[in-house]
Amino acid sequence: MGKFDLDQVICRENTCSVKNDYRNCEDMICMWVADMDFAVAPPIVEAIKKRADHPIFGYSYIPDRLFNAVSNWYEKRQGVHYNPKRMLTYYSVVSAISLVLLSLTEEGDTVTMMAPTYMNFPPAVNGVKRNIIYNNLIDINQHFEIDYDDLDRCLSKSKVFLHCSPHNPTGRVWTLDEQRKIAELCEKHHVLVISDEIHSDLIMPGFKHIPFFQVSPKTKDYTVTMISATKTFNLANNGVAFIIPGNEKMYESIKKHMECLHLGSMNIFATTAVLAAYESGEEWLEEVIPYVEDNYLMIKKFIDEKIPKIKVTTMEGTYLMWLDCRNLGIPVVNFFETTAKVLGEDGILFGPAGQNYYRLNLASSRLVIEKVLMRLEKAYHQLF
């Protein structure tokens, strides 16, 4: 065992947890929604407790120390320089996407995104009256690849490319070469890029995340990057999302919109948690990544050997495993939920391109994963 007890099974029931309490999950093992079942890094808990010991929770501002911590983190981990003085803060990445669209585009403009698509992207775009075109990824032997001709066609009609990097739900970590080609097409069609890099700290060994910001000397000038501590440190809904516009004009325009709406100040506990995470959470993250990778390798081996009708997509990043169930011949929900009592996410939630796929969240203790495997095997024997 490492320094942190990731094997511990923590009961999340009756904690208002969306994963465990929101849907009727009786008898189910909950493997849906993207948060982790691991206790957060101890320095985060300590920092929150320490702040709670001071009994006044009035208006607070975000200290420069937090922006510096974020900048230092990305410089060290991803080799990218984000100017701490040119970051904006917001409640969540999804709402920040809507805000950036409101600030930098016009009603009726079109946004291209890859499909299958993280399910909260379409409402974030349609909600502010922008249109969507989908660029379908191609599943080549459990590895999703970009159809550049189609992307070219989509971008020729778009003002924005909403980049999901790494990609949820397919688990792709885009290579430099792939992103250079995306950049070429965005430049050809003068398209703004919103690069959602919320999963960029969760990269499996052997893969490397390249921030779109630094794909080429030019990309920064038309890119707004979104990052957040929420996926990295298991702080969903308790975090602060950072909007990083690549040039001054975009920065000023987004800031003006935020000021109009009196947005930007954050809950003191969120700020405290995120500061502790970026300053003192690295050791914890360094244990979580290989633990999740081992979960993935274990499930992959098991499914390859025992459930041949399901194919496992390579999980290069994120902690979300994307399963190709097209050969099952029955609805995915019947297999996973009704029979196996394992609650992940039906691929159709990620749009038509996700039909007959299923997503499982692997950020759970080994004991839970083992139980899931037993249930899947039993269900498979029952049905086939």
Of residues 223 and 230, the one with the C-beta less far from ligand PLP: 230
Name the segment binding ligand PLP (CB under 6 A); options: 54-62, 89-97, 182-190, 358-366. Answer: 89-97
Selected from 71, 89, 105, 168, the binder of ligand PLP by CB under 6 A is 168
Interface residues for ligand PLP in 20-39 (CB under 6 A)? 34
Interaction between residue 202 and ligand PLP (CB under 6 A): no
Of residues 167 and 300, the one with the C-beta less far from ligand PLP: 167
Q: Which residues of 70-109 are buried (b: 16+ CB within 10 A; e: fewer)?
A: bbebbeeebebebebebbbbbbbbbebbbbbbbbbbeeeb
Selected from 40, 48, 87, 94, the binder of ligand PLP by CB under 6 A is 94
Of residues 317 and 376, the one with the C-beta less far from ligand PLP: 317
Interaction between residue 230 and ligand PLP (CB under 6 A): yes
Packed helices 64-78 and 268-280: angle between N→C axes, nearest 10 degrees: 40
Interaction between residue 164 and ligand PLP (CB under 6 A): yes
Binding mask 110-139 for ligand PLP (x = CB under 6 A): --------x---------------------
**Distance (Å, whole) CA 200 – CA 242:** 13
- The neighbouring-strand residues paired with 161 are 112, 193
Name the segment binding ligand PLP (CB under 6 A); options: 10-18, 91-99, 150-158, 285-293. Answer: 91-99
Burial level of 155, CB count in 10 A (0-12/13-18/19+)?
buried
Residues that bind ligand PLP (CB under 6 A): 34, 92-94, 118, 164, 168, 196, 198, 228, 230, 236, 241
